[in-house]
Amino acid sequence: MYEIQDGVAVIELNRPPVNAMGLELRRSMWQALHAAHADGGVQAIVLAGQPRVFSAGADVTEFGTDLAMQSPTLFELIDAIENSPKPVVAAIEGLALGGALELALACQARVAHAQARVGLPEIALGLIPGAGGTQRLSRLIGLEAAYPLMATGQPQPASKLAQTELFDQVEQGDVVAAACARARTLSARPPAEAHAPLRTHRRLDAQSVQSFVAAQRERLTPKQRLQPAYGVLLDVLVGTAESFDVGLKQERDAFMSLMGTRASKALRDQFKAERAASKLPADMQADPRQVDTVAVIGAGTMGTGIAIALLDAGLTVRVLEQDEAALARGMARIAQYYADRVKAGKLADARAQDNTARLASSLDWHTLAEADLVIEAVFEDLAVKQAVFKQIDAHARAGAVLATNTSYLDIDAIAASTQRAQDVLGLHFFSPAQVMKLLEVVQGARTAPDVMATGMALGARMKKVAVPCGNAFGFIGNRIYNAYRQQCEFMLEDGAWPEDVDRALTQFGFAMGPFAVADLSGLDIAWRMRAAQAATRDPRSRYVSILDTLCEQGRMGRKTGAGYYTYPEGKQAAASDAVVRQIITDASAARGIERRTLSADEIVRRAMLALVNEAACLMQQGVAARASDIDVVFVQGYGFPKWEGGPVFWARQQDRAQLEADLDDLGRQVGHGFVRGDVAALLQV
């Protein structure tokens, strides 16, 4: 929109939903700017957005395409603003991120609402600000204030930055009116003042810059050192001690170089994959059912975590238990969670009180009649869950959505306990449910489209990354993780120690190694699952008994003080102890394996191949709707390094012939029962 208000041309960015500065918006802004320049009745210009968003910045979908470089580019637009013959003022409400903040920095003044938030999130895509952000912001407010905006990627409220030179005014009221007033004032400046050197171009003290950069480089974490953008950002900040033109060129060269890195390609791929995952396939799209009240059955750790996630999303929650003491413990756990959040300053007391006011508990099954959605979160046993669903079927109102939080079990077998299988789906939360972002939304054979849509909508409301998947053992995540864990166990028999495998995979970028994860979650969980499958296990298949032996000796992980590792004073020992090494050595001998040293590269590649092969099998079976969904699941739920993109992205970076050969070799190592996946579906971009 373009209108003139008392000599000020107000150019409103209007490209819903987030005013991303793609080619179409850039062209309309360019035309409006030139119209304002040509209009003799216009003395100044104001750039404004919408109440909730000034602009989320550059259009990420254009990155790496010709659209990003078509004129006017963001660089050209910024140059036109900075060199405008008439003063330009940015009126910032809501979010101003990335290229939008860089655009505002080129303006002669900035007026922001106190609740506006600004940031430079490019680091989350493996990039640095590429349109002057590193240079203009640092020179304007100093490295100490500017660096956190770039290095964390987290936006900050304008009120927090009000004392810096970033904003000329921070307002509680009408930001556009205030910006227009500021623009008129600037247009009346004497010529000498109007052409004064820009504050965003001043040169910083070289010694101070060097000291700051050196200190920050020392503070980079191991994970940040694995991603090139963090080091490159610091390299570019050194240029703030140079002339503005030199610093700007260094920034632009670095940005273009980072665009071609594997890390940035992976992070951008994950960005797109997360957005694609939120959409159901065409044949399942429908309007979701209304959900205001949710009943959670089970007040254990998972049930209370789910309840907290629902309360945080503004829903009314009823927690149901069969045991009064268990219910009291669960309610106390929820109350303590909110008390701790308030005490830590992470949640306002009023918000905590509002959440707990929407919470009630009961031992009465009739409570289910109040719920639009019922989530079962009881013990992971099919018979137990089937018994619970018979009660749900008897007491839940007609049309309520019925969900099970199972991690592995058959959704259809659970739904068969009801007279309304069309209303049943899986909602696989990851622990702790109030923290973990991933939610697998599982479709049974008879799950209605609007029930799936309801599950996906609930995930979005809870600000989770919801991924649809089919009903198969372990769904997407646990099914593939099981193959990964199994391959890591094979490597123990072949010659590696637990710490060798864990170290190689954490150095690759995983948040934790598989054996540290097993100890953390408890070895008895997998032990029970193995025992349940023992009767159907093919005796010809390679089976590693190491975990079973550990459990038989009472080594259940952290909770018992020993598992694959010991935990003196609650801290994990750096290496496995003599007991574990003897168990592993005995397992190798029983299989007739001569142990050998496995390099870190071999460990990582074998683990990745196991992930890729199982992912290919899932795609063939239709468990995952899109190959990219598999990457989203592993990044969000299993600690896969986001800058490596996920197992599918990893597979697409490999030489096809070599990948095929390595998968064949993996099959020979696994032996009987190995199912070779067809990777063709994974490799199609």
- Give yes or no: 62 in active site: no
What distance, in Å, lies between the first and last C-alpha atoms of the chain?
A: 38
- How far apart are alpha carbons 472 and 675 in whole angstroms? 16
Closest by alpha carbon to 679, among 665, 668, 671, 656?
Answer: 656
CA distance readout (Å), 162 to 95, 110, 170: 16, 11, 6
Identify residue 371 by its one-letter amino acid code. Answer: A
Burial of 399 (0-12, 13-18, 19+ CB in 10 A): exposed
What is the rounded distance in angstroms from the CA atom of residue 13 to the CA atom of residue 24? 11
| Sheet arrangement for strand 424-429 | 359-362, 316-320, 293-297, 373-376, 401-404, 424-429, 438-443, 465-470
Our CA angle for 380, 382, 383, nearest 5°, is 115
For 165, counting Cβ atoms within 10 Å of its Cβ (0-12 exposed, 13-18 middle, 19+ buried), the class is middle
Whether 370 is a known active-site residue: answer no
- Active-site hit among 82, 122, 321, 440: 122
Concatenated DSSP letters for 632-647? HHHHHHS---GGG--H
Cα 675 to its chain centre, rounded Å, is 31
Rounded to whole angstroms, the Cα distance separating 176 from 117 reads 16
Report yes or no: 519 and 563 within 8 Å, Cβ to Cβ: yes
What is the spatial distance between Cα 428 and Cα 485, in angstroms, rounded to a whole number? 20
Q: Rounded distance, CA 62 to CA 142, Å?
A: 31
Q: Which two tokens stand for residue 243?
A: 């002339």
Using CA atoms, how far apart are residues 153 and 137, in angstroms rounded to an integer? 14
- Structure token digits, residue 245: 């033109």
Q: What are phi and psi of 557, to 5 degrees?
A: 115, -155
DSSP 59: -
Instruction: Single out the catalytic residue among 12, 93, 102, 644.
Output: 102
Query: How many residues does this entry show for the chain?
Result: 685
**What token pair was written down for 285?**
């799209």
Question: Could you check whether the bond before residue 155 is cis, i.e. omega within 30 degrees of 0?
Answer: no
Give the Å distances, CA to CA, from 18 to 52, 92, 119, 274.
9, 13, 14, 17
What are the b/e assignments for 662-683, b being 16+ CB within 10 Å? bbeebbeebeeebeebebebbb
Helix axes 143-151, 228-237, angle to 10 degrees: 160
| Strands in 566-630 per DSSP E | none
Residues with catalytic function: 102, 122
